[in-house]
Amino acid sequence: MNQKIIPIVAPGVTKERKRQAPKGRRVDPAALAEVQALLGTESRQADMLIEHLHKIQDKFGHLSAAHLRALSEEMKLPQAHVYEVATFYHHFDVVKEGENAPEALTVRVCESLSCDIAGAKDLLTRLPAILGKEVRVIAAPCVGRCEQAPVAVVGQNPVAKATCESVAAKVKANETTHVEKDIIDYAAYQKDGGYQLLKNCISGQRDVEAVIKTMEDSGLRGLGGAGFPAGRKWRIVRGEAGPRLMAVNIDEGEPGTFKDRYYLERDPHRFLEGMLIAAWAVGIETIYIYLRDEYHGCRAMLEAEVAKLRANPPISNMPEIHLRRGAGAYICGEESAMIESIEGKRGMPRLRPPYVAQVGLFGRPTLEHNFETLYWVREILEKGGEWFTSHGRNGRKGLRSYSVSGRVKNPGVKLAPAGVTIQELIDEYCGGMLDGHKLYAYLPGGASGGILPATMNDIPLDFDTLQPYGCFIGSAAVMVLSDKDTAVDAARNLMHFFKDESCGQCTPCRVGTAKAYDLINQPKWDLALLEDLSTVMRDASICGLGQAAPNPIDCVVKYFPQELA
């Protein structure tokens, strides 16, 4: 028998009135108006979240709780999502309720290995007192200028070979932004025959199959670190159902790597033409370029040059080009983490399969390439695959751009035959070791590529040649250590970097990097525990960060036992 239930209300108590506003933190009308003015007519789609966070950070110097709530309201996103994305990236200063905003100016001092051995610790110690309380001085991971070590960044203006005096002068002069100059611009590039190859492709003078075959014959492999054959990747993505997208990775955050920045600062259209040819060959109409936030001058320059392309396109039906800005997260150099970031999310690597070529950006088949890989496309297609393979040394084929830093006389990007040894690279391309320094050790592939002793100076530096020694070439970031340095100190610096840069998604990497860092900072290393930890991290981490993070430690144990005695 159904009975109607009548609620009993105590005397003097009225029924709860209908809620006048949604649950949660209220949106401040003034903050909302400021956010709306900043965003203007730009899209409020979810993938624009990081771009819009940058606008607020650039305008106010931080991200207040009021502005985050307003942005959430304006983009129709959950406040939790906006907050978790903002707090994931290093370059966003999130200020909670009741907290004070950071100083108006921030000076970042790079503490990566090359800058560390060049005097970064001294800068970090002395600068706060010199610059005063109005300037915030913080340590930063690699800023991609290792050949200029030590480097400080005043606002968004890098100071090469920084001293306390030069940084203070930059602050006093209020020089906080940097714009690239003396590049080969659109007009100069076209005058020298630029974009003619692209026009030939579009007009039918070049056949898609022949172009992809030339790329395959060249043996060009991805130059961001993974080394997957470029021509084969084009063929795979072309075989997927459209629409297809392209994502270009210029987020070279690996300590010791700066080759992409070096070429971008000088000849941006050579890369852009290679990118557009790849888009034509694969059948792509929309391209996303992901550029690390540390390259402020490059971003301003690239925006200007892409605008010239749009205004006076070399071809009809040119693909849409979107330039996206990183926010300080090394993990976004991993292709799937970069794609997550482009979509406006935390840069966390995806589980695979499916692979990016099948299900990538916005769920579509995606051609993902590193900057330098596309930079070589024009020259390879003009000169032929055989031209590229005609170079090489010690049984290897091709050319490599080695980013060389550390204790050499002439650091920088060295275009050399693939397979050159560290000794040949130092003697023939870098002017030898610094006076008073003797080669002691070297890192052939950046922070995660391992450490080798000077006695192993005859190994060809190329793909597949270093794995037998527990190392790899990666993006060819070569850091040179001398007898003034120790491999133990290098490993500690690198593991500190990995600990800070772990995205935290998987336990083996999140906990393993922190635990490993604590263990190697002990006076005596627990070798059995470190070996066990290394095995777990390699076997169980989701992506290459956790899998490769133990490399420096394993190399110290294997090749530098005298330092642990």
- Contact between 248 and 360 under an 8 Å Cβ cutoff? The reply is no
| 16 bridge partner residues | none
The reported pTM is 0.94
Residue 8 pLDDT exceeds 60? no
Residue 3 pLDDT exceeds 80? no
Residue 498 pLDDT exceeds 70? yes
Enter the DSSP assignment of 221. Answer: B
Residue 9 pLDDT exceeds 70? no
Tokens of 506: 């998987």
- Contact between 246 and 320 under an 8 Å Cβ cutoff? The reply is no
Locate tokens 């607020």: which residue? 56
Residue 18 pLDDT exceeds 90? no
Percent of the chain with pLDDT over 90: 94
- Contact between 280 and 392 under an 8 Å Cβ cutoff? The reply is no
What's the pLDDT tens digit per position in 396-437?
999 999 999 999 999 999 999 999 999 999 999 999 999 999
| 182 bridge partner residues | none
What's the pLDDT tens digit per position in 303-328?
999 999 999 999 999 999 999 999 99
- Contact between 512 and 541 under an 8 Å Cβ cutoff? The reply is yes
How far apart are the C-alpha atoms of 282 and 456, rounded to whole Å?
42
Q: What is the pLDDT of residue 345?
A: 98
Q: What is the pLDDT of residue 179?
A: 87
Residue 386, exposed/middle/buried by CB under 10 A (0-12, 13-18, 19+)? exposed
Percent of the chain with pLDDT over 70: 96
Residue range 218-232: mean pLDDT, rounded = 94
What's the pLDDT tens digit per position in 110-146?
999 999 999 999 999 999 999 999 999 999 999 999 9
The sign one gets for the Cα dihedral 371, 377, 383, 388 is positive
Q: Mean pLDDT score of the chain, rounded to an integer? A: 95
What's the pLDDT tens digit per position in 345-400?
999 999 999 999 999 999 999 999 999 999 999 999 999 999 999 999 999 999 99
| 324 bridge partner residues | 290
Q: What is the pLDDT of residue 2?
A: 54
CA angle 464, 469, 475 (to 5 degrees): 45
How far apart are the C-alpha atoms of 559 and 452, rounded to whole Å?
7
Q: Where are the beta strands (DSSP E) in 382-436?
A: 399-406, 412-417
How far apart are the C-alpha atoms of 442 and 453, rounded to whole Å?
7
What's the pLDDT tens digit per position in 339-349?
999 999 999 99
What's the pLDDT tens digit per position in 432-484?
999 999 999 999 999 999 999 999 999 999 999 999 999 999 999 999 999 99
> What pLDDT band is residue 565 in, cutting at 50, 70 and 90?
confident
- Contact between 289 and 321 under an 8 Å Cβ cutoff? The reply is yes
The H or E element that residue 286 is part of is strand 284-291
Q: What is the pLDDT of residue 226?
A: 87
Residue 186, exposed/middle/buried by CB under 10 A (0-12, 13-18, 19+)? buried
> What pLDDT band is residue 25 in, cutting at 50, 70 and 90?
confident
What's the pLDDT tens digit per position in 166-214?
999 999 999 999 988 899 999 999 999 999 999 999 999 999 999 999 9
How far apart are the C-alpha atoms of 472 and 556, rounded to whole Å?
15
How far apart are the C-alpha atoms of 75 and 46, rounded to whole Å?
7
Tokens of 367: 């051609």
Locate tokens 């400080």: which residue? 152
